């Protein structure tokens, strides 16, 4: 891979509103890149991956950086909210601690001070660490397009998001009282490296024994297989035992599709994923 020190030439555009973003995208059809925190985008430009002659900076666009709980209890997280701000937010820590934990464990201080949640999701890497948590939390995402906007579950983003779409915000429903959460990531260096695989679990139990409801998001797997529905079905309505957790973890690892990478074979990752799911569920049970 050739790596250039200098960034290729481009014009930097700084729209102030979502409307202006779309008029620029329309004017420079296919020639403009959206630029949020830039931690991936600038790197790709240096590597000449999809470099385009126009860069649309999103930092000055109003309406993309809300972090607030509405009257209906829904948490709105604007696409431009920095990962560190989510990790530090008392509201997120209180109501959606899974998301705060994921953001705190992701990357490094520098990356969290620069990277946005919108960029983490929009890139749609299988290793994007907020995705499994958002899926487990049944988050929705608002996608703006030139002709209007839609709101879809984050788990469907991989097929709903088109090029030149702008993610504007994430909507996280209030969780039932007493709901439990667990998160496990496997990374070569836990602080710094992307999670090779990971598991995010939201669990609702009746009388501390029966699984009333569960959602499981998997990290490091292909986007269409990030929600471990098969494993969820195994758990739902059943008494939670070590045995049933092991069965669910097995199903989750089977359902999650992944490839080999420079460090680990797909077979190894699948084994580790099973363990991560198992531990994340157990963590949720004792949460």
Question: Three-class SS of residue 172?
Answer: strand
Report yes or no: 12 and 6 within 8 Å, Cβ to Cβ.
Answer: no
- Residues 138, 143, 149, CA angle at the centre, nearest 5°? 120
- The verdict on 114 binding another protein (CB under 8 A) reads yes
CA dist 269 to 89, 186, 188, 263, Å? 32, 9, 12, 10
- Residues 259, 265, 269, CA angle at the centre, nearest 5°? 80
Please select the residue that binds another protein; options are 84, 101, 126, 168, rule is CB under 8 A.
Answer: 84
Nearest residue (CB) to another protein, 10 versus 125: 10
- The verdict on 61 binding ligand FAD (CB under 6 A) reads no
Please select the residue that binds another protein; options are 18, 24, 28, 57, rule is CB under 8 A.
Answer: 57
Please choose which of ligand FAD, another protein, none residue 204 contacts, taking the beta carbon within 5 to 8 angstroms, the exact cut-off set by kind. none
- Cα 160 → chain centroid: 15
Nearest CA-CA partner of 122 in 100, 102, 144: 144
Instruction: Write the interaction track for another protein spanning residues 162-201; mark x where CB under 8 A is met and - where it is not.
Output: ---------------------------x-xx---------
Task: Considering only residues 229 through 268, tell me which ones interact with another protein, judged by CB under 8 A.
Answer: none
Report yes or no: 234 and 247 within 8 Å, Cβ to Cβ.
Answer: yes
Please choose which of ligand FAD, another protein, none residue 129 contacts, taking the beta carbon within 5 to 8 angstroms, the exact cut-off set by kind. ligand FAD
Please select the residue that binds ligand FAD; options are 123, 152, 174, 246, rule is CB under 6 A.
Answer: 123
Q: Cβ-count burial of 116 within 10 angstroms (0-12 exposed, 13-18 middle, 19+ buried)?
A: buried
- The verdict on 141 binding ligand FAD (CB under 6 A) reads no
Nearest residue (CB) to ligand FAD, 182 versus 220: 220
- Residues 245, 232, 279, CA angle at the centre, nearest 5°? 35
Nearest residue (CB) to another protein, 54 versus 230: 54
Tell me how far apart the alpha carbons of residues 3 and 45 are, in angstroms, rounded to a whole number.
10
- Please identify, among the stretches 7-15, 23-31, 61-69, 168-176, the one whose residues bind another protein according to the rule CB under 8 A: 7-15
Longest Cα–Cα distance of the chain, Å, equals 62
Please choose which of ligand FAD, another protein, none residue 16 contacts, taking the beta carbon within 5 to 8 angstroms, the exact cut-off set by kind. none
Nearest residue (CB) to another protein, 24 versus 74: 24
Report yes or no: 189 and 195 within 8 Å, Cβ to Cβ.
Answer: no
Residue with tokens 């529905």: 229
- The verdict on 110 binding another protein (CB under 8 A) reads yes
Tell me how far apart the alpha carbons of residues 282 and 211 are, in angstroms, rounded to a whole number.
12
- The verdict on 39 binding ligand FAD (CB under 6 A) reads yes
Task: Considering only residues 90 through 119, tell me which ones interact with ligand FAD, judged by CB under 6 A.
Answer: 106-107, 111, 114-116, 118-119
The contact set with ligand FAD (CB under 6 A) reads 33-41, 43, 79, 83, 106-107, 111, 114-116, 118-120, 122-123, 127-129, 166-167, 194
């Amino acid at each position: 891979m050739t790596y250039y020190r200098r960034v290729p030439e481009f014009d930097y555009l700084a729209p102030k509103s979502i409307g202006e973003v779309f008029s620029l995208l329309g004017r420079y059809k296919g020639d403009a890149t959206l630029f949020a925190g830039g931690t991936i985008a600038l790197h790709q430009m240096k590597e000449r991956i999809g470099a385009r002659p126009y860069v649309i900076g999103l930092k000055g666009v109003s309406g993309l950086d809300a972090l607030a709980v509405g009257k209906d209890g829904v948490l709105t997280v604007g696409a431009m909210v920095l990962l560190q701000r989510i990790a530090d937010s008392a509201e997120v820590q209180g109501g959606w601690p899974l998301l705060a934990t994921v953001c705190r464990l992701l990357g490094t201080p520098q990356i969290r001070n620069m990277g946005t949640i919108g960029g983490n999701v929009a890139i749609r890497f299988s290793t994007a660490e907020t995705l499994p948590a958002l899926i487990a939390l049944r988050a929705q995402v608002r996608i703006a397009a030139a002709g209007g906007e839609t709101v879809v579950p984050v788990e469907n983003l991989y097929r709903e998001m088109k090029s030149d779409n702008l993610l504007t915000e994430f909507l996280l429903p209030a969780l039932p009282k007493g709901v439990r959460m667990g998160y496990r990531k496997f990374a070569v260096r836990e602080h710094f490296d992307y999670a090779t695989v990971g598991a995010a679990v939201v669990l609702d139990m009746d009388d501390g024994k029966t699984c009333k409801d569960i959602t499981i998001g998997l990290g490091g797997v292909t986007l269409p297989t990030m929600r471990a529905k098969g494993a969820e079905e195994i758990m739902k309505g059943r008494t939670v035992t070590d045995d049933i957790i092991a069965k669910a973890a097995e199903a989750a690892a089977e359902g999650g599709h992944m490839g080999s990478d420079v460090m680990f074979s797909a077979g190894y990752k699948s084994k580790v994923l099973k363990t991560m799911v198992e531990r994340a569920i157990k963590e949720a049970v004792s949460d």
